[in-house]
Amino acid sequence: MVDASSKFQDSLPISSDELLKTLDQWNIKYNLFVHVPLRTVEDSKKVQGIFISSENGGGHVKNLYLRDKKKKNILLVAQQDQTVDLKKLSKNLGFSNLSFGSPERLMQHLGVRPGSVTPLSMITGVKNDVSLFLDKNLKSKSVIYIHPLVNDRTIEMTIENLEKFFSKIGISYIWTDL
């Protein structure tokens, strides 16, 4: 069975290895960690001892791929323990009836599988009209931890370097208060 690990990265529109090479070419600094596949926040919390803690400035996130009833695609990047009320979020962001997108749509619009959703998947999402929203609380973090398109790797980078990546791919994004 195909999963979201680097073992199957060559079946993605852009492999994790290609993404990392691109980050290097763009001089976007990061630290790479390799670990067991992490599909959920709960899985992630089991290995977070190798990262900077939230209390010490580590931005541990969850990424939600959402669609509204008009088939608009949204990627929401929030702190991992942030409660997200989809009804409230729909109203606050001006969308109608947000719900989770299917695995097929996730691959089609962001080029990743469930368990590996990441703001870095906007390298594909930018071509597919995906709107990006980031939790304002992440701005205060010294670093953020995100998957490089696969769920058995995590990269640590500053918010400034993440914003540099967004600039390089030409995506606009909105910092939002959740």
How many domains does the chain divide into? Answer: 1
b/e sequence 98-107, b meaning 16+ C-beta within 10 Å: beebeeeebb
Q: What is the pLDDT of residue 66?
A: 96
Helices (H), 81-178: 86-93, 103-110, 122-125, 159-169
Q: What six digits make up the tokens of 85?
A: 């009320």
The answer to whether position 1 is within a domain reads no
- Check if the beta carbon of residue 47 is closer than 8 Å to that of residue 53: no
Q: What is the pLDDT of residue 48?
A: 81
For residue 128, give the 3-state DSSP assignment: helix
Q: What is the pLDDT of residue 23?
A: 98
Question: Mean pLDDT per 10-residue run, the chain (178 residues)?
Answer: 89 97 98 90 83 88 94 94 90 90 95 96 96 95 96 96 97 92
Q: What six digits make up the tokens of 169?
A: 């791919």
pTM for the predicted model, two decimal places: 0.93
The answer to whether position 18 is within a domain reads yes
- Check if the beta carbon of residue 171 is closer than 8 Å to that of residue 123: no
Distance CA 22, CA 27 (A): 9
For residue 122, what is the domain's CATH number? 3.90.960.10
Structural domain for 151, as ranges = 6-176
Cβ neighbours of residue 168 under 8 Å, at least 6 residues apart? 26, 28
How many C-beta neighbours within 10 Å does residue 42 have?
A: 9
Q: What six digits make up the tokens of 16?
A: 């994790």
The answer to whether position 49 is within a domain reads yes
Q: What is the pLDDT of residue 2?
A: 75
